[in-house]
Structure 1
Amino acid sequence: MAVMEHTTVIRRARVGDLPRLVELVHEHVAYERSAPRPPDLAERLGPQLFAEDARLWVLLAETPDGTVAGYAACSAEFAFWDARHYLHMDCLYLAEEARGHGLGAALMEGVRDLARALGLDQVQWQTPDWNEGAIRFYDRLGATGRPKLRYALTVEAAPFTP
């Protein structure tokens, strides 16, 4: 993946990174003022990330001292109106102390590299409309925003019938 100056490394997440990744996810959830996530997040996330046929990719930003300071989580999606696949970046997060040092740009370059490697020519993502720092960052990258509301609908599990 991408390497930035001062030996900052962007790399795929490995099984041993899961505890730190979950810490960062919980920080991200708090930062975005979202509801807490389940306490068994690592047990639920691990199989999705590290299965042989995984369709979820997590890139980590590692500082020169080896600290995992941020992540970007991506999956391939299909845009019906465009009739093409794209890389959906579900999350990009940097620990507060890691911001402003080029790690975000390095992660985004890693995401672009991943899209290219997968044969995809577009990356899409969203950010809360109140996150002015992220909006400025994405605008500086040359990304374009598309106003839209995102909804979620909880679906109750159907009873199992053999």
Structure 2
Amino acid sequence: MEIRLAQKGDLPQIVGLCKQHAEYEQAEYSTKDKEKLLSKAIFGTSPSLKCLVVAEGNTIVGYATFMQQFSTWDVGFYLYLDCLFLTEETRGKGLGTALMEKIKEYSKIENCTEIQWQTPDFNEKAIRFYQKNGGISKKKERFFMKV
């Protein structure tokens, strides 16, 4: 399997994996316009998102998306890991750890001293995975507001 930057042709499969990811996290997800919007975010003139994929031949079996953000408290940049997802049959084979290592490489290139992410508190497998890979939990409530 190969870990590489996403290509435009990967978008239909990435959207399918996003849907599986949402189902896994017990969230609703609509595929409407997602390819077009992700294309703009990843490949547009001012891309705001980077996306790594795990490819097995022509099949995408996992992805990770991340972006650089700024911390007022630390007065510096950090990398925010928005999503990391692998299909059920590819979990436990070291691919998640390999994705995290690639993300660490990008964070160093971008002069980020920290990577931040979140996972639902019921996702015990992910919590164990992140702890095994050096993640430290910070208890906070995440809020959102539709506008």
How does 1:11-50 map onto structure 2 within 5 Å?
A: 11-50=4-43
Count of residue correspondences: 147
How does 1:97-136 map onto structure 2 within 5 Å?
A: 97-136=89-128
Supply the AA of the counterpart residue of 2:60. V
Match in the other structure for 2:71: 79
Aligned partner of 1:143 among 128, 135, 138: 135
**TM-score between the two structures when normalised by the length of structure 1:** 0.86
Deviation larger for 34-43 or 76-85: 34-43
CA drift of 1:102 comes to 0.8
Give the whole-Å Cα distance in 1 for the aligned partners of 2:2 and 2:37.
Answer: 26
CA drift of 1:66 comes to 4.6
Provide the identity percentage: 39
Match in the other structure for 1:56: 49
Equivalent position SS for 1:134: helix
CA contact (8 A) 1:88 1:123 kept: yes
Supply the AA of the counterpart residue of 1:149. E
Question: What RMSD over aligned residues (CA atoms) do the two structures have, in Å?
Answer: 1.2
Max radius of gyration: which structure? 1
CA drift of 1:53 comes to 2.2
What is the CA deviation profile of residues 120-145 of structure 1, one whole-angstrom value per residue up to 9, with x for unaligned ones? 12110000000000000011011100
Q: Which runs of 5+ in 2 are unaligned?
A: none
**TM-score between the two structures when normalised by the length of structure 2:** 0.95
Match in the other structure for 1:158: none
Supply the AA of the counterpart residue of 1:73. T
CA contact (8 A) 1:61 1:106 kept: no
Poorly superposed stretches of 4+, deviation over 6 Å: none
